[in-house]
Amino acid sequence: MKVLNIIDGTGWCGTKEQTYLISVYLKRRGIDSELALAENHIEMIQKVRNEIKLHFYGKHMGGISRFNPWILKKLKSIVQSKEYDVIVAHSSHAYDYVRFIYPFLKNKPKLVALRRSGYVPNIISKYLKYKMADRIVVVSRKVANLLIKKNFFPEKIEVIESGIDLKKFKPKEELRNEIRRKYGVQEGEFMFVNVANWQPWRKGQEIILKALKELPFNNYKMFFAGLGTESREARETFKKYGLEGRCFGLGYINDIHNLLQGADLFIFGSFSEGIAGSVLQAMATGRLVVSTDAGGIPEYLKDRVNGFIVKVGDSKSLCKKIVEAVSLPTHVKKEISEKAIATAQLYSIEHTVDKYIDMFNRLLSNGSS
C-alpha cells in the first residue's frame, strides 16, 4: 500500500505534530508512506529527517500558496509520478491543494480529508470541496456528531482520535527539579504551563491571564510555549493584566515533553479544539490539568477524576479550579495524576495508526464503503 500524506504551511502546531506522527508511524508499520510539503517547512524537515521520503511542491508564502498554479502543477506531477493508493490531506488548506488537482489526475487514489477543528464548513466548501473526499476523518466524537447533525456527508465521516507519542510523553520525576531550575522557578513557587501557539481568539490565552489575575496567591510562574508566545504582542498582553513579572513566553521549543516534567499544573483555555493533543500530552506525563471543555476534551478529561474542567470562556471558574487543584492533599493529586496517565494510554499514536490502516484497507477492498 502506497500513501501520500500532504501538509501545508510551515511552523508547528497540533496538526503538524499529528501529520509527522501519522506519516512516520505508517512507515514503521510497513506502509509505503511519503510526505509532500513546502520546501521551507524547516520544522517538519528537521523532525522527519531520513525516516520517510519527502516531496517538495514549492515554497509556502501564506494562504495564497494553495492557489498558486506553479505549486499545484508541481504537486500534480508528484502525485502522477507514483501510483499512490491513498492521499491523506492533513489539514483544510492541504485539502485545498488536492481538490484543485484531483479532477485532472488520470489515476485517482482514494482521498482522505482531515477535519481537526469543531467548525462546520460552509455550504460552498461542502459541495465544491469535501464532496469529492472518500472519507472525512474527524478527531473526536463531538466533532463527528456536530457534522452529522448538520448533514455534512455523514456516510463519509470516520472518527480517528489524534494519538500521542507515549515513548516521549511519560512521567520522568527525576527531571522535575532540573527543569524548574532551568526556568528559574524558586522553592515554594508553583510552575504553571500552557502549550499552544499564540492565538488568544482561539487558544484562549487571555482567559488564562484573567484567571491568574484573580488568584489569591502570587507565588507562581506561568510559562506559555508555542509560536508567537515570545512576541511583543504576547508580552504586552501579559503587561496589560499586570502579570509581566509572572508570565513568560518561551516561543517554539522542541522539548515540550521535558518542560512538562517541571509543571505543577497544565492550564488550557482554548475556545475551539478537535481533541487537544497538548492536553493529552500533559496528562501522559502525569501533570494535573485544568482545561476548558472545548471540542472533544470532555470525552477524556473528567472533572475531579483525572483533571479539572470548566466551560469555555469562564475565567472565574478557571481561577477557582486552579486554586482547588493546587490545594489538594498530596495523595489526592497522586490519584488524579495516575488516572490521567491511564487515560492518556488509550490515545497512543500506535492505536491511531491502527485505525488509519483499517480505514485504508476498507477503502481499497470495498470501494467507498
Question: ∠ CA 13-18-21 to the nearest 5 degrees?
Answer: 125
Question: pTM score, two decimals?
Answer: 0.91
Over residues 312-333, the pLDDT tens digits come to: 999 999 999 999 999 999 999 9
Which one is the CATH code of 173-347: 1.10.3720.10, 3.40.50.720, 3.30.70.120, 3.40.50.2000?
3.40.50.2000
Over residues 33-76, the pLDDT tens digits come to: 999 999 999 999 999 988 999 999 999 998 888 889 999 999 99
Q: How far apart are CA 175 and CA 261, in angstroms?
A: 6
Give the model's pLDDT for residue 369.
42
State the pLDDT confidence band at 119, using cuts at 50, 70 and 90. Answer: confident
Give the model's pLDDT for residue 267.
98
Q: In what order do the strands lie in the sheet with 53-56?
A: 53-56, 32-37, 2-6, 86-89, 110-115, 135-138, 157-159
Sequence-separated (6 or more) residues with CB below 8 Å from residue 218: 246
DSSP letter for each residue of 97-153: HHHHHGGG-SS--EEEEEE-SSPPP-HHHHHHTGGG-SEEEESSHHHHHHHHHTTS-
The average pLDDT across 183-188 equals 96
The mean predicted confidence, pLDDT, of the chain is 94
Q: Residue 232: is it exposed, middle or buried by C-beta count within 10 angstroms (0-12/13-18/19+)?
A: exposed
CB atoms inside a 10 Å sphere around CB 73: 14
Please give the share of the chain, as a percent, with pLDDT higher than 70. 99
Residue 176 has pLDDT above 70, yes or no: yes
Q: Choose among 58, 47, 59, 57: nearest CA to 23.
A: 47
The average pLDDT across 14-28 equals 95
Length of the chain, in residues: 369
The domain ranges of the chain are: 2-163+348-365, 173-347
Give the model's pLDDT for residue 368.
45
Residue 366 has pLDDT above 80, yes or no: no
Please give the share of the chain, as a percent, with pLDDT higher than 90. 88
- Considering all CA atoms of the chain, what is the largest pairwise distance in Å, rounded to the nearest integer? 66
Give the model's pLDDT for residue 171.
97
Tell me the three cell numbers of residue 225: 510555549
Give the model's pLDDT for residue 257.
96
Give the model's pLDDT for residue 367.
54
Taken in order 54, 59, 61, 67, the sign of the CA dihedral is: negative
Cβ 126 vs Cβ 96: under 8 Å: no
Strands (E), the chain: 2-6, 32-37, 53-56, 86-89, 110-115, 135-138, 157-159, 190-195, 220-225, 247-251, 265-268, 288-292, 308-310
Give the model's pLDDT for residue 123.
87
Pairing verdict, β 86-89 and 135-138? unpaired
CATH architecture of the domain with residue range 2-163+348-365: 3-Layer(aba) Sandwich (3.40)
Phi first, then psi: give them for residue 53, nearest 5 degrees. Answer: -75, 135
The average pLDDT across 71-84 equals 94
CB atoms inside a 10 Å sphere around CB 254: 10
Q: How far apart are CA 121 and CA 258, in angstroms?
A: 37
The average pLDDT across 159-181 equals 96
The dihedral region occupied by 21, where left means phi > 0, alpha psi between -120 and 50, and beta the remainder, is: alpha
Over residues 200-249, the pLDDT tens digits come to: 999 999 999 999 999 999 999 999 999 999 999 999 999 999 999 999 99
Question: ∠ CA 349-350-355 to the nearest 5 degrees?
Answer: 95
